[in-house]
């Protein structure tokens, strides 16, 4: 963030708190005001760059930080309370401020309706690995977002992981299905591998230890390697070996791919339903 830039974080739960830690560690935010009923996270208390407000009334009544006009308002409250919370921030709608949402299922149109005309809005979909700086976020902005504001939002999102931008907002439904919900699929795979290991005779604790370490290690290997996932898989697979025997099951016509196709389609469909 440019020198003198200011950021308002509305909601500082797990995702908002993780992003705040990432911004401060990366030096992306020079000044942050946090609106969170439970108060500032322990990790940022005493940090001179961070102050607290109880709500929009603090910002506009002189009770809160004086002269505070944010360059970015990051909306990190739960989607189900967004309609109640957001109208209070309408006074911040101006050409110099962009609203960046990380709330699932809330469309740009819904933000424009709540904030009024002229609001610059970026809708994004991060995932939970952002908590350790390894998130994947996809974002889309409305026509009011300037190139400078897009760059600013990109820097904020990139502080907690990788970022991709799309022009078609409807793509955020399959994005939500693949990366937003995706960590849960990986955790389920660990559970399934551990249970299968138990069924094969391993003690439960050892089976889970093997499954967790294997998935974590394979993920890190893929993260560090430029090699495609398909080529990494082939490198582990010896012809007529044990891995090939397992893959013959997983890659069969009724194996993992059609199951994953149905799962992603179901999640994308539900994402569209929630945005209605």
The boundaries of the domain holding residue 146 are 7-172
Contact 156, 134 (CB under 8 A): no
**Same-domain status, 205 and 168:** no
Dihedral angle over CA of 175, 176, 182, 188, nearest 10: -140
**Same-domain status, 167 and 65:** yes
Is residue 1 included in any domain, yes or no?
no
Task: Tell me what pLDDT residue 41 has.
Answer: 78
End position of a domain, from candidates 172, 193, 221 = 172
Is residue 245 included in any domain, yes or no?
yes
> Residue-wise pLDDT tens for the chain (276 aa)?
444 368 999 998 888 888 888 888 888 777 899 998 877 877 788 888 888 888 887 776 544 455 678 899 999 998 889 999 999 999 899 999 999 999 888 899 999 999 988 999 999 999 989 888 899 999 999 999 999 999 999 999 998 899 999 999 999 999 999 999 999 999 999 999 999 999 999 999 999 999 999 999 999 999 999 999 999 999 999 999 999 999 999 999 999 999 999 999 999 999 988 887
Task: Tell me what pLDDT residue 187 has.
Answer: 98
Is residue 30 included in any domain, yes or no?
yes
Is residue 16 included in any domain, yes or no?
yes
β-pairing verdict for 135-141 and 120-125: antiparallel
Count of the separate structural domains present in the chain: 2
CATH, residue 197: 1.10.3730.10
Task: Give every CB contact of residue 177 below 8 A, 6+ residues apart in sequence.
Answer: 263, 264, 265, 266, 267, 268, 271
User: pTM for this structure?
Assistant: 0.88
**Same-domain status, 185 and 164:** no
Is residue 253 included in any domain, yes or no?
yes
Task: Give every CB contact of residue 145 below 8 A, 6+ residues apart in sequence.
Answer: 98, 120, 121, 122, 153
End position of a domain, from candidates 127, 148, 172 = 172
**Same-domain status, 223 and 249:** yes
Is residue 256 included in any domain, yes or no?
yes
The two tokens of residue 214 are 């294997």
**Same-domain status, 42 and 156:** yes
The two tokens of residue 166 are 């799309």
Query: H or E element: which one contains 98?
Result: strand 98-101
Task: Tell me what pLDDT residue 38 has.
Answer: 78
**Same-domain status, 20 and 115:** yes
CATH, residue 119: 3.40.50.720
**Same-domain status, 111 and 212:** no
Is residue 162 included in any domain, yes or no?
yes
Closest CA to 5 of 44, 31, 26: 31
Task: Tell me what pLDDT residue 63 has.
Answer: 42
The DSSP code sequence of 155-209 is: HHHHTTEEEEE-S-GGGHHHHIIIIISHHHHHHHHHHHHHHHHHHTT--HHHHHH
Strand partners, 124: 139
End position of a domain, from candidates 149, 172, 195 = 172
**Same-domain status, 164 and 209:** no
């Amino acid at each position: 963030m440019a020198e003198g830039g200011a950021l308002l974080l509305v909601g500082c739960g797990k995702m908002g708190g993780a992003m705040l830690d990432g911004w401060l560690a990366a030096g992306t935010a020079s000044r942050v005001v946090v609106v969170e009923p439970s108060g500032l996270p322990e990790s940022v208390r005493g940090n001179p760059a961070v102050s607290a407000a109880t709500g929009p009334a603090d910002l506009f009544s002189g009770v809160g930080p004086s002269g505070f006009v944010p360059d970015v308002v990051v909306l990190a409250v739960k989607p189900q309370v967004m309609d109640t919370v957001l109208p209070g921030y309408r006074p911040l709608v101006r050409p110099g401020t962009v609203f960046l949402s990380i709330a699932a299922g809330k469309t740009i149109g819904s933000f424009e309706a709540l904030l009024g005309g002229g609001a610059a809005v970026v809708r994004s979909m991060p995932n939970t690995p952002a908590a350790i700086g390894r998130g994947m976020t996809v974002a889309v902005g409305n026509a009011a977002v300037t190139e400078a504001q897009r760059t600013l939002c990109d820097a904020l999102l990139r502080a907690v992981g990788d970022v991709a931008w799309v022009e078609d907002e409807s793509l955020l439904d399959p994005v939500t299905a693949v990366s937003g919900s995706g960590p849960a699929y990986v955790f389920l795979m660990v559970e399934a591998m551990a249970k299968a290991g138990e069924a094969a005779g391993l003690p439960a604790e050892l089976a889970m230890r093997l499954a967790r370490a294997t998935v974590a290690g394979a993920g890190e290997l893929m993260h560090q390697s430029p090699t495609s996932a398909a080529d990494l898989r082939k490198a582990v697979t010896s012809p007529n070996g044990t891995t090939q025997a397992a893959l013959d099951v997983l890659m069969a016509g009724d194996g993992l791919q059609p199951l994953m196709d149905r799962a992603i389609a179901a999640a994308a469909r539900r994402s569209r339903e929630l945005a209605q």
